[in-house]
Structure 1
Amino acid sequence: MTSPRIAIIGAGMSGILTAIKLSEAGYDNHVLYEKAARLGGTWRENTYPGIACDVPAHLYTYSFEPNADWSQAFATGAEIQAYFEGVASKYRVPERIRFNEGVDVCEFGDGRWHLRTSTGREDVADVVIAATGVLHNPRVAELPGLASFEGACFHSARWDHSVSLDDKRVGVIGTGSTAIQITSALAGKVANFELFQRTPQWIMPIENPTFSDSDKAGFRRDPSRLAAVKAEADAAFQNFSNAVIDADSNEIHEIEAACMMNLEKNVRDAALREKLRPGYRAGCKRLIFSTNFYEALQRPNTHLVTEGIERIEARGVRTRDGQLHELDVLVMATGFVADSFIRPAIVLGKNGKSLDEAWADRPVAYLSVSVPEFPNFFLLNGPNGPVGNFSLIQIAEHQVAYVLQLLDEIRSGRCRAISASHDATARFEAERVVAARQSIWATGCKSWYLDKDGVPASWPWSRERFFEAMARPALEAFERVP
């Protein structure tokens, strides 16, 4: 098969990357399906006040497209979106994108994938690459009376910029990274701000230095200076990666100490401090990085609400102590359905087996890339990948390189179809589960990292092991159709 037709689903960070690398490798017969009118994925959809990446900008950058123009160490969402748009344009990716066209059905039959899109289009591909990401299906809390609220109400990933916040009473439900960033951006800048907390979070203090015009010019003149900044950030994140996979590591104890000191040092009121003190270990939930959350929360007209929510009413939020918190704007910073991946698209593999059936127990993929009985179907940032460990761009670049080697088996004629075997996947998953139980994520908290059995759904080993696993496929772990 000299020129397999390849369908990429999603034009976010990993979809753009895939299109670029396919073209470089000579796979010219490929198309991207994007459900929205613009590319960018997460950074297109999330535009809430204060949005920024919690990975240093020079790490959250394609290795082949370093960026000398980041304004600060942790880039804003708008900057990241502009970066992806610029890279995509440079490599002429938009020419291959079918915008406003999501994929509703992928069905394997007669050795090929048959696709049906939201526009009714029918397409056929030899290979499907799901670059749909992890956090793209918003989770809205099922709160009694939510529909009765008379003010503006929206999920943080669907921010309504037509709603003015000037002199408004704003409430935010949730305390994940998004809620903390919104708090830092809005506290003290609206008439009244209330953060509704179910579970307190550990906050890792960070510095977020800006880069001057002189710094940027220096990066452009001398690429080694830019490489040095990236290497420094990479070393710091490697320390973090080592910490989270071992609940008894020195590194995680150092992180816990830093989070504890941040709380003790920066929250003046003892009662507020105790409300903000988590009852679980730092890192058990996705660790939150912030320069000023505690400072923001202690500003005038800013309040932390820890009473449980009884219901939503026309004028605001009624908590279980009977108090009505009157609001003009209610933001649901309640996260995403993290185990959806390509779903809700219907994916049918060999003999009509659905992905829902294959994942009835929990989402599983060999090395997070390939699912047994789904030939020539590959996932980027799929189940059990290192989502909480390091930069998603690093992950995606290694996964794309791995998938390209599998595609070469098809292009060379050594096989027509390839997918992970059940045995290899079962062995990998059994080993992964054992290791995951030793990680900080398994130390007794509830988080979106955990599956229904309480097992962390992430890569539980070192970054080096991931890179080694991605370096060259062990072809004996795959079933190939000649």
Structure 2
Amino acid sequence: MRESRIGERSEVSQSASRRLRYAVIGAGMAGILAAIKLDERGEDFAVFEKADRLGGTWRDNRYPGLTCDVPAHAYTYSFAPWPEWSAYYAAGEEVRTYFEWVAERYRIGASIHYGREVVDCAWDDHAAEWTLTFQDGVTMQAEVVIAASGVLHHPNLPDIPGLSSFAGEAFHSAQWNDCVELDGKRVGVIGNGSTGVQLITALHDRVERLVHFQRSPQWIMPVPQFVYTDDQREAFRTNPALIDAIRNDPQYWSNIYRFADGLTDPESPQMGEIEAYCRANLEGTIKNPELREKLRPNYRAACKRLIYSWQYYDCVQSPGVFVETGGIDKVVPDGILMKDGTLHPLDVIVLATGFKADRFIRPTVVRGRDGRSLDDFWATRPRAHFAVAMPGFPNFFMLNGPSGPVGNFSLIDIAERQWGYIDQLLEPLRAADARAVEPRADAFEAYEERRVDAARKTIFGSGCTSWYLDKTGVPAIWPWSYQAFADAMAEPVLEQFSFEPATQEA
């Protein structure tokens, strides 16, 4: 591994047919992946991160109970197994530690520039390059931009009347206030996605009273959780094949493929199994009939992102926990007032209200050919050809971009497959056979038409509100099987792309 910055040229890149400069935006999971892959090729690149540390959403989120809902050994880069996971499902702090370890092991730290927020990204047709402008006005150029900015990094703050009048402490779960004492306090958690559920499980035995405000209940999929012993971790260190056996467990991957098949076909036997597991979990675990009905969703399982938990139903039955499914009227100085007149006195309010999942690289201004803005291109919905590239935005690629696979999958595996796809599209540029590549507009529109039609027929379009839906109500997802995604990423259909011939000067 080597230190590398845009503007420097390594021995490897000097021998290439064409010198390319790469700008990677974001130093989260996907940005780290891009940096490692570019460094392995000896490319000239730099990673620009707006924060002061790497880690992306795992850096920003540090609330009590934070846990990755993908098994730890599956939530690792294929080339960087980690023997130190303490449990089957890892805590957020461990995930942060893993990414820091990977960055150090692959020596990409010197290529990450912190506190460098990209505010503008403009394509120059004549020069066939992007100009990036940072928050301090400094600019730089690169032929290729990799947008690895992620999805879950713009907190969604609810518009609740009176919130600013609250006399206690109120904050979003992704802006955790470490100075606030929670033990023995009266705490309200608004929101019941994965974050809300994890907060309840972590706080139920610490606080005096815990109120879980739910606009609509969630289906909960029961999953196993267990710790790895010291002996097991030592075995992982000395024999990495044991890790590979977990990562490549046929049963795990069979479940992934079957789960994806269920999502794409609501009437499938696979979907029936998912619903049966969730229903049995609710009916067999919640003893109080009134609470059971409060927690029973009125939509199909997995219409919202399925919640994995091995303990929420137990914790929510604790004496100090109250589930509130009524409508919030307003926040008052001493708590939350419901529309039916009930007042919940509180000391702390936690907004577990998720993120603005349609932002992606925005608010960065991105302008492609002829100055067309990304906001205009995404006026109806965020969209990209196979979730990776867009017509009119040459040499601009996204990792985990709009309409990629969503659900309870490892986004690391998805990003690695996408990188393989992008890397193949870049080969004609590296060989100086082309100076720009982008999807053909007709191919993209045909893809998007098929995707939208299929997405409406998935379980996500079966009748619920969720952060998966765009503003027109279309699920912003990959609507086909996981195997179809893997096959698509294995080799781009080059006829769907336009390659601008290289000029004599290139």
Interval of TM-score (by shorter of Structure 1 and Structure 2): over 0.9
Q: 1:22 aligns with which of 16, 33, 38?
A: 38
Q: In structure 2, what is the equivalent of residue 354 of structure 1?
A: 373
Q: 1:101 aligns with which of 116, 135, 140?
A: 116
Contact 2:70 2:408 in 1 (8 A): no
Measure how far apart 1:389 and its partner are.
Answer: 5.3
Measure how far apart 1:460 and its partner are.
Answer: 1.0
> Partners of 2:214 and 2:177 in 1: how far apart?
22
- After superposition, the C-alpha distances for 1:248-296 in whole angstroms (9 at most, x for unaligned) are 1111111100100111011111011101000001010000000110111
> Partners of 2:248 and 2:274 in 1: how far apart?
20
Seq. identity, %: 50
Contact 2:305 2:408 in 1 (8 A): no
Question: Aligned ranges for residues 18-417 of structure 1 at < 5 Å?
Answer: 18-27=34-43, 29-109=44-124, 110=126, 111-232=128-249, 233-388=252-407, 390-417=409-436
- After superposition, the C-alpha distances for 1:167-197 in whole angstroms (9 at most, x for unaligned) are 1111110011100000000012111111111
Which aligned runs of 4 or more in structure 1 are off by greater than 4 angstroms? none
Measure how far apart 1:231 and its partner are.
Answer: 2.2
> Partners of 1:443 and 1:231 in 2: how far apart?
32
- After superposition, the C-alpha distances for 1:434-466 in whole angstroms (9 at most, x for unaligned) are 221221111111111111222111011111111
- After superposition, the C-alpha distances for 1:104-149 in whole angstroms (9 at most, x for unaligned) are 0001113211111123221111111100111111100001111111
- After superposition, the C-alpha distances for 1:348-372 in whole angstroms (9 at most, x for unaligned) are 0011100000011111110010011
Which secondary structure state, in structure 2, belongs to the residue aligned with residue 317 of structure 1? strand
> Partners of 1:166 and 1:470 in 2: how far apart?
48
Measure how far apart 1:314 and its partner are.
Answer: 1.1
Contact 1:349 1:355 in 2 (8 A): yes
> Which of 472-481 and 98-107 deviates more?
472-481
Measure how far apart 1:227 and its partner are.
Answer: 1.6
> Which of 277-286 and 321-330 deviates more?
321-330
Contact 1:37 1:99 in 2 (8 A): yes
1:396 maps to amino acid: A
Measure how far apart 1:242 and its partner are.
Answer: 2.0
Which secondary structure state, in structure 2, belongs to the residue aligned with residue 141 of structure 1? coil
Measure how far apart 1:219 and its partner are.
Answer: 2.1
Measure how far apart 1:238 and its partner are.
Answer: 2.5
Measure how far apart 1:390 and its partner are.
Answer: 1.9
> Partners of 1:168 and 1:26 in 2: how far apart?
54
Is 1:9 aligned to 2:25, yes or no? Answer: yes
1:2 maps to amino acid: R
Structure 2: segments with no counterpart, 5+ residues: 1-16, 502-506
Contact 1:388 1:458 in 2 (8 A): no
Q: In structure 2, what is the equivalent of residue 461 of structure 1?
A: 480
Q: In structure 1, what is the equivalent of residue 9 of structure 2?
A: none
Normalised to the residue count of structure 1, the TM-score between the two structures is 0.98
Contact 1:381 1:387 in 2 (8 A): no
> Partners of 1:202 and 1:64 in 2: how far apart?
34
Which secondary structure state, in structure 2, belongs to the residue aligned with residue 209 of structure 1? coil
> Which of 224-233 and 413-422 deviates more?
224-233
> Partners of 2:450 and 2:27 in 1: how far apart?
33
Contact 2:380 2:472 in 1 (8 A): no
Contact 2:257 2:483 in 1 (8 A): no
> Partners of 2:468 and 2:174 in 1: how far apart?
19
- After superposition, the C-alpha distances for 1:299-335 in whole angstroms (9 at most, x for unaligned) are 1211111111001111111111112211111110001
Which secondary structure state, in structure 2, belongs to the residue aligned with residue 128 of structure 1? strand
Contact 2:69 2:408 in 1 (8 A): no
Contact 2:185 2:209 in 1 (8 A): yes
How many positions carry a matched residue from both structures?
Answer: 481
Which secondary structure state, in structure 2, belongs to the residue aligned with residue 107 of structure 1? strand
Measure how far apart 1:240 and its partner are.
Answer: 1.6
1:9 maps to amino acid: I
Measure how far apart 1:239 and its partner are.
Answer: 2.4
- After superposition, the C-alpha distances for 1:46-104 in whole angstroms (9 at most, x for unaligned) are 00000011111111100001112211111110001000000001111110111011110
Q: In structure 2, what is the equivalent of residue 425 of structure 1?
A: 444
The CA RMSD over aligned residues, in Å, is 1.1
Q: 1:445 aligns with which of 441, 461, 464?
A: 464
> Partners of 2:243 and 2:46 in 1: how far apart?
33
Contact 1:172 1:179 in 2 (8 A): yes
Contact 2:438 2:499 in 1 (8 A): yes
Contact 1:365 1:383 in 2 (8 A): yes
> Partners of 1:3 and 1:366 in 2: how far apart?
26
Contact 1:191 1:301 in 2 (8 A): yes
> Partners of 2:344 and 2:470 in 1: how far apart?
34
